[in-house]
């Protein structure tokens, strides 16, 4: 990750290109937007809205840049100026719909989109931007199915208006991609390239499909093809960098080389943009993606002097500070972000980090509430339940912890065997709390034992050489005994398996010795009272004494045995 930190020096060293170098045509402005040179595009479009103030489309594209940068208020003001120029401006009504999407105003979006399409006539561009607007709420490459379907419907209508509009086909591909309909997406991108083989955007979009399929070599081929079309097409370098990061995380053997390559590619991307505040915020996104939290914190601190212009800086300060264990700074930054930002800009991950920061700051109750809020806003945020489970377990709220762990292990792809183990522990300790409760109205729920046993059984199946799962299965099953004077031996096979696995690892550690003593005591007791085999019982208790001579049941057994011998 050290290589990534070099970018921040380059970012600080480079300056914004002067506006005098910019071409002044709408076509050039649109090209700058596609290349993610947003400051350059805004400078050109601002000029065009002055020199060609009677053209409503100039206002639309000017506002659209603000939409892409998530400045809805600025975008809205510009779109309204466009409508003032031309009350029948379909594009600017599409822009107002896009603002409503950002503001999560479904009714406003629908009204403005309907107005845009009613005015579109034979112009496919309003259909294009209605479709693209529905894709704005994109999180990690995914869009809610309802929005994606609305985008696809609008874009297909635009395609019917003009089947040769390559931008419509690319947008269709993007919409299909968010729903993992990769065959349809690839077909749309290829159709766009058939119309215009020089569309670098379509090549990059194809590379992104291969990225999410973890076919990284094919991704690189597409990015190289895009750069062969246009060597200065920045998005190709950005996507290449992000693909390299994903490659590094998926293949540890390639991690070092791919992180270095990602750094180089992102350096090229930055050199091709205008290096505005928004470009640097995108760089912060890259640092977050790559896990270089130290550089992210340094960069966010450098950006904090411009925080008044974009409060999102506080989000990066909070994320980085948490990952770097600077909890006071992180909590302050996150509280600033959440209290000052437009509530519509606050995302579930913000509450996730707020909860983690609160818990790390010993504000457990507040932290759990924040984590639950993250989950309630986005039900796909299953990973929050891991944090909730850990915190509740630490508070000895075992049944609540068990339910949190269960949700996590059932819904998250990131759940590990340790999470399943703690799920079992939580159910087990929750049962014990009921079993030993001094409140006589509390009845121990035996279904908790079944849930605990299921979790421990899963761990044992996936990791047969982990002894802890067997000893806890033994303890769980021991509670199934209804008559202690006439035991069935439900725990016996699990204690025997525990001994086998624990001793297979060589000399046991002190903690394991105590557990081995427990197992031998159980087997000895079983031999004494169930099998009526005193020799076998003595053998087991002798082994237990070797493991833990202070074990009370061991001491009692040999004291009783010694007394019996003296009596003889």
Q: Across-strand partners of 431?
A: none
Q: Across-strand partners of 246?
A: none
Residue 15 has pLDDT above 80, yes or no: no
Residue 409 resides in a domain: yes
- Residues for the chain: how many in total? 568
Residue 510 has pLDDT above 90, yes or no: no
Give the count of domains, the chain.
Answer: 1
Residue 23 has pLDDT above 60, yes or no: no
Tell me the average pLDDT of the chain.
90
Q: How far apart are the first and last CA of the chain?
A: 76
The DSSP 8-state label assigned to residue 142 in this structure reads: B
2: pLDDT confidence band, cut at 50, 70 and 90?
very low
pLDDT at 302: 87
Residue 566 has pLDDT above 60, yes or no: no
Burial class (CB in 10 A: 0-12, 13-18, 19+), 206: buried
Helical H segments across 291-416, by residue range: 293-303, 312-323, 327-340, 348-360, 364-377, 384-394, 398-411
Residue 426 resides in a domain: yes
CA 396 vs CA 391, 402, 428, 434: distances in Å: 9, 11, 12, 13
pLDDT digits (tens, 9 = 90+) for 281-313: 888 888 888 888 998 999 889 888 877 778 889
In this structure, what is the dihedral angle of CA atoms 373, 376, 382, 387, given to the nearest 10 degrees? 20
pLDDT at 562: 67
Q: Across-strand partners of 139?
A: 142
Q: Across-strand partners of 142?
A: 139
Residue 410 resides in a domain: yes
Residue 189 resides in a domain: no
pLDDT at 567: 39
Give the Cα separation of 510 and 489 in Å (integer).
26
pLDDT digits (tens, 9 = 90+) for 42-71: 999 999 999 999 999 999 999 999 999 989
Residue 509 has pLDDT above 80, yes or no: yes
Residue 251 has pLDDT above 50, yes or no: yes
Give the Cα separation of 373 and 386 in Å (integer).
14
pLDDT at 5: 46
Percent of the chain at pLDDT > 70 equals: 95
Of the candidates 65, 25, 26, 58, the one whose C-alpha atom is nearest the C-alpha of residue 42 is: 65
Residue 399 resides in a domain: yes
Residues spanned by the domain of 440? 382-455
Residue 447 resides in a domain: yes
Rg of the chain, C-alpha, whole Å:
32
Of the candidates 123, 132, 174, the one whose C-alpha atom is nearest the C-alpha of residue 154 is: 132
Residue 357 has pLDDT above 60, yes or no: yes
Look up the pTM and report it: 0.66
Section 233-245 average pLDDT: 93
pLDDT digits (tens, 9 = 90+) for 546-557: 999 999 999 999
In terms of average pLDDT, the best of 222-226, 293-297, 346-350, 439-443 is 222-226
Residue 435 resides in a domain: yes
pLDDT at 383: 85
Residue 295 resides in a domain: no
pLDDT digits (tens, 9 = 90+) for 104-121: 999 999 999 999 999 999
């Amino acid at each position: 990750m050290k290589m990534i930190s070099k970018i921040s020096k380059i970012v600080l060293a480079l300056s914004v290109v002067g506006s005098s170098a910019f071409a002044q045509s709408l076509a050039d402005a649109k090209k700058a937007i596609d290349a993610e040179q947003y400051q350059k595009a805004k400078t050109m479009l601002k000029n065009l809205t002055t020199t060609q103030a009677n053209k409503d489309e100039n206002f639309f594209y000017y506002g659209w840049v603000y939409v892409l940068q998530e400045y809805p208020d600025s975008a809205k003001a510009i779109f309204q100026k466009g409508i003032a120029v031309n009350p029948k401006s379909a594009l600017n009504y599409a822009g107002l719909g896009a603002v409503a999407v950002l503001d999560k105003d479904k009714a406003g979006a629908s009204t403005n989109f309907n107005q845009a399409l009613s005015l579109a006539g034979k112009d496919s561009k309003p259909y294009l931007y209605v479709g693209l607007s529905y894709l704005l709420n994109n999180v990690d490459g995914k869009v809610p199915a309802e929005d994606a379907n609305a985008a696809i419907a609008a874009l297909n209508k635009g395609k019917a208006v003009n089947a040769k509009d390559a931008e419509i086909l690319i947008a269709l591909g993007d919409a299909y991609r968010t729903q993992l309909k990769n065959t349809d997406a690839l077909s749309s991108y290829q159709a766009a390239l058939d119309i215009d083989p020089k569309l670098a955007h379509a090549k990059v979009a194809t590379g992104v499909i291969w990225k999410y399929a973890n076919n990284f070599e094919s991704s690189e081929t597409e990015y190289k093809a895009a750069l062969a079309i246009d060597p200065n097409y920045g998005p190709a370098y950005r996507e290449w960098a992000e693909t390299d990061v994903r490659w590094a995380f998926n293949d540890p053997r390639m991690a070092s080389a791919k992180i270095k390559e990602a750094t180089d590619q992102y350096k090229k991307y930055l050199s091709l943009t205008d290096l505005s505040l928004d470009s640097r915020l995108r760089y912060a996104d890259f640092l977050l993606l790559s896990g270089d939290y130290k550089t992210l914190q340094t960069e966010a601190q450098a950006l904090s002097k411009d925080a008044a212009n974009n409060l999102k800086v506080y989000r990066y300060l909070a994320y980085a500070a948490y990952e770097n264990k600077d909890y006071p700074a992180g909590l302050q930054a996150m509280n600033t972000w959440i209290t000052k930002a437009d509530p519509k800009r606050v995302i579930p991950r913000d509450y996730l980090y707020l909860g983690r920061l609160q818990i790390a700051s010993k504000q457990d109750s507040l932290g759990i509430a924040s984590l639950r809020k993250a989950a309630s806003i986005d039900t796909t945020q299953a990973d929050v339940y891991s944090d909730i489970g850990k915190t509740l377990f630490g508070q000895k709220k075992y049944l609540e912890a068990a339910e949190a762990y269960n949700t996590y292990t059932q819904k998250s792809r990131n759940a590990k065997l340790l999470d399943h183990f703690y799920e079992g522990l939580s159910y087990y300790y929750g049962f014990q709390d009921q079993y030993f409760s001094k409140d006589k109205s509390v009845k121990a729920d035996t279904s908790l034992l079944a849930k605990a046993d299921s979790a421990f059984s899963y761990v044992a199946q996936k990791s047969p050489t982990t002894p802890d799962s067997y000893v806890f299965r033994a303890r769980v099953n021991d509670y199934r005994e209804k008559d202690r004077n006439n035991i069935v031996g439900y725990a016996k096979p699990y204690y025997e398996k525990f001994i086998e696995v624990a001793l297979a690892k060589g000399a046991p550690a002190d903690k394991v010795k105590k557990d081995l003593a427990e197992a031998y005591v159980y087997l000895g007791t079983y031999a004494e009272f169930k099998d009526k085999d005193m020799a076998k019982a003595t053998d087991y208790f002798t082994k237990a004494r070797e493991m833990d001579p202070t074990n009370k049941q061991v001491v009692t057994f040999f004291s009783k045995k010694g007394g019996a011998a003296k009596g003889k």
